[in-house]
Chains A and B, each alone.
Chain A
Amino acid sequence: MQARTQTLWQRILGIDRRWLYLILFVNIVTFLVAPIRMPASVSPPVQKFHDEIEKLQPGDLVMISSNWSASTLAENQPQLEAVITHLMRKQARFTIISIEAQSRDISYRLAERVTKEKGYQYGEQWAHFGFVPNLIVAIKGMVTDLPGTIKQDVRGTEVSKLPVVQGVKSLSDYKMVIDVTPSGTVPIWISYSPKNVSILYCPTSVMAAEAYTYLDSGQIKGMITGAKGAQEYEQLLTVVGLGTRFMNAISFSHVLIIVFILLGNFAMFMNRLQQRREG
């Protein structure tokens, strides 16, 4: 009879995977909401990114290229929020551009919310240029004739009438380009944007590895890698933003997985021990 009833260890070993799913879900929700903070050490590319923006003077123009949508939200949204927060602190003007409709909508809504909180004026201090279907063509066009290439902003105002880019003829009037992206757009910016414009890069963690060569060669002036980089950046800005929250949740999901791997091995070990004793 005793063989029929499962021991505790056997039950742990054969746990229904749906419990695991639930535990992971609850774990992530908890650490997203809970105000626990784990200090991060700031990596050199993030520090460089921060220093580069610190050099901006009030009124300097920055172009943000935002090409992410729902699936990479957790990595790109904290980056964009942190970058906009820093730009507003430096009183810099900025314009956003996307390469497709979803990333336009998502970055426009986000920028509207973040700027409203700090009283930044649309049209005066920032604007969203909508989306351009072909990035290469768009960059080349913006270098020669910016208002003619973009024509209208996201609200339908003519670009030449927007105070934020009053008198701006070309992309070379900008101080820097910040590329927030999950895809390989940064080589395009490097190849086609004017030489006096410095490029900063916010990739997802998967894409970051390929960018170190550009970082070494100085073609990119700084880099924020995924949510982890955003957390480090927020630490430099001394705010607790999404990067910190998301990274917390990521860290503790890693801890959860490791704890369960150890638990599984312990259960396997105990189970063997028990069987040996009985058999």
Chain B
Amino acid sequence: MHMLTNLMAQQTIWRLPEESRILFATLIVLGAFVLILGLAPVLQTLPPRGRRAIIVTVTFLAGLFFAAEFFLPVDWTAIFPKDDPKRNFLTPAIQPAQNVLQIIGALALGLGTFGLVRLHLRNAVQRRAQWGYSIVLLVSFVVMATLSILNTLAEKEIVERGPVLKRAFSILFDYTLVQLDAAMFSLIAFYIFSAAYRAFRIRSIEASILMFTAMLVMIGVVPLGAFISYTLLGLPEAGAPEGANFLTQLEHSIGLPKIANWVLTQLNAPAQRAIEFGVGIGGLAMAIRLWLSLERGVT
């Protein structure tokens, strides 16, 4: 067992030699592509049962890796010397595994983008209805993709960041994309108004509770609430003096801002926590079913 650790530690076999590394690397990557993509026709010969078995196994192993890393004791002295109280023998592999997921995520982004571009290319080529807008989308995509990729490469100092790139990127990103974000985000203010007007009616007990708490909090969180309670109604603003009787304490805690805050922290928090518990348990059960492929869900 110690042999293995030593071998891993030396890392020589995991690294290409310094000289002509680029050439070796290119060859290995090409080889990997041929090998893995060449495997596809082989996999294709499998009967449906075999295919399902592969998917189930891969799912289980991927889950097992992360589960084992979490559950195994961190100072597993039986097998490995206790070198670091914060990890077990799988922990060093967590970061690379996360990187693998990141890479697959980046490839998925390529897939999604490909789907988007394909749809609009088809619209444009086949002159479907409204194909002009598809052209708009494609043009802005191509321009922005070029600038964004160049900008990323410039950050890595692979290409030079000329003044044209800087200007053009800034106009499209800072003065167009970011402004569109802000505009779209602010639309919600209008929608929140129309939704509140339409939905907050005294129709049922539930709707009424929703309405009254929403209105209470809305007044309580703005200075108007303080104005009404402390200036108009003359309620005491400061906290109750120590040792005051119950009525005085009550008087000191029924200002609108205080009630709003109390509803937000004392009444909202436990309801939210109960939902969180339910969601957590539901998610955990789902995770177990997916891990063991107990559910014919999406795969």
Co-complex (A, B): yes
Evaluate contact between A101 and B170: CB separation under 8 angstroms.
yes
Q: Which of B155, B221, B224 contacts A38 (CB 8 A)?
A: B224
B43 close to chain A: CB less than 8 A:
no
Question: How close is A238's CB to chain B, nearest CB, in angstroms?
Answer: 16
Once the chains bind, are B193 and A20 in contact (CB under 8 Å)?
A: yes
- Among A99-152, those with CB < 8 Å from B are 101-102, 105, 133
Also in contact, A39 and B178, with CB within 8 A (given A258-B215, A264-B197, A265-B201): no
Known A254-B222, A255-B224; judge A41-B197 contact (CB<8 A).
Answer: no
How distant is the Cα of A247 from the Cα of B190 in the complex, in angstroms?
18
A38 touches B227 (CB 8 A): yes
Interface pair B201/A40, CB less than 8 Å apart: no
Interface SS, B side: helix
A6 at the interface (CB under 8 A from B): no
- Determine whether B69 belongs to the interface, using a CB cutoff of 8 Å to chain A: no
Would you call A251 and B230 a contact (CB within 8 A)? no
Residues A41 and B230 in contact in the complex (CB < 8 Å), given A70-B178, A228-B223 = yes
User: Complex Cα distance A20/B196, Å?
Assistant: 11
Given known contacts A250-B222, A265-B202, A24 and B227 CB-to-CB distance under 8 angstroms:
no
Whether the Cβ atoms of B223 and A41 lie closer than 8 Å is yes
Complex CA gap A254/B194 in Å reads 13
Q: Determine if A69 is an interface residue (Cβ-Cβ < 8 Å).
A: yes
Q: Could you count the A-B residue pairs with CB atoms below 8 Å apart for me: how many are there? A: 88
Give 5 nearest A-B pairs by CB, closest first.
A70-B182, A71-B182, A251-B222, A17-B194, A40-B223
Complex interface bits, B162-203 against A, C-beta within 8 A gives 1, otherwise 0:
000000001000100011011001100110111011101110
Q: List 5 A-B contacts (CB under 8 A).
A: A38-B223, A38-B224, A101-B170, A256-B193, A261-B211
Q: Which residues of A lie under 8 Å from residue B215 when comparing CB positions? A: 258, 261
Instruction: Answer whether residue A273 sits at the interface, using C-beta atoms and an 8 A cutoff.
Output: no
Chain B residues near A170: list those with CB within 8 A: none
A15 CA to B198 CA, complexed, in Å = 10
Complex interface: chain B residues within 8 A of A257 (CB): 192-193, 196-197, 218
Residues of chain A having any CB pair with chain B under 8 Å: 15, 17, 20-21, 24-25, 38-41, 69-71, 73, 101-102, 105, 133, 228, 231, 247, 250-251, 253-258, 260-261, 264-265, 268
17 additional A-B pairs beyond A17-B197, A254-B224, beta carbons within 8 Å, are: A17-B198, A25-B190, A70-B178, A105-B174, A133-B155, A228-B222, A228-B223, A231-B223, A251-B223, A253-B189, A256-B193, A258-B219, A260-B193, A261-B215, A264-B200, A265-B201, A268-B201
B75 contacts across to A, CB distance below 8 A = none
In the complex, what's the smallest C-beta–C-beta distance from B154 to chain A, in angstroms?
12
- Which residues of A sit under 8 angstroms from B189, Cβ to Cβ? 24, 253
List of B residues within 8 angstroms of A254 by Cβ: 218-219, 222, 224
Inter-chain CA distance A256–B223, complex, in Å, is 15
Main secondary structure of the interface of A (DSSP, over half): helix
CB contacts (< 8 Å) of A15 on chain B: these are 197
Q: Which residue of B lies closest to A21 (CB)?
A: B190
B155 proximity list for chain A (CB < 8 A): 133
Q: Are B190 and A24 in contact (CB under 8 A)?
A: yes
CB-contact partner of A21 in B193, B224, B230, under 8 A? B193
**A39 contacts B193, C-beta separation under 8 Å:** no
- CB-CB under 8 A from B174, the residues of chain A are 101-102, 105
Q: State in angstroms the CA–CA spacing of A247 and B189 once bound together.
A: 15
Taken together as a complex, chains A and B put the C-alpha atoms of A32 and B201 apart, in Å, by 30
Question: Distance (Å) between the CB of A16 and the closest chain B CB?
Answer: 10
Most buried by B among A24, A39, A264: A264
Partner of B197, one of A250, A251, A261: A261
Report yes or no: B222 in contact with A70, Cβ–Cβ below 8 A. Answer: no
Assembled-state Cα–Cα distance A52/B253 (Å): 29
Known: A24-B190, A254-B219. A71 touches B226 (CB 8 A): no
B193: which A residues are within 8 A, CB to CB?
Answer: 20-21, 24, 253, 256-257, 260
In the complex formed, the residue of A with least CB distance to B189 is: A24
CA distance A105 to B175 in the complex (A): 11
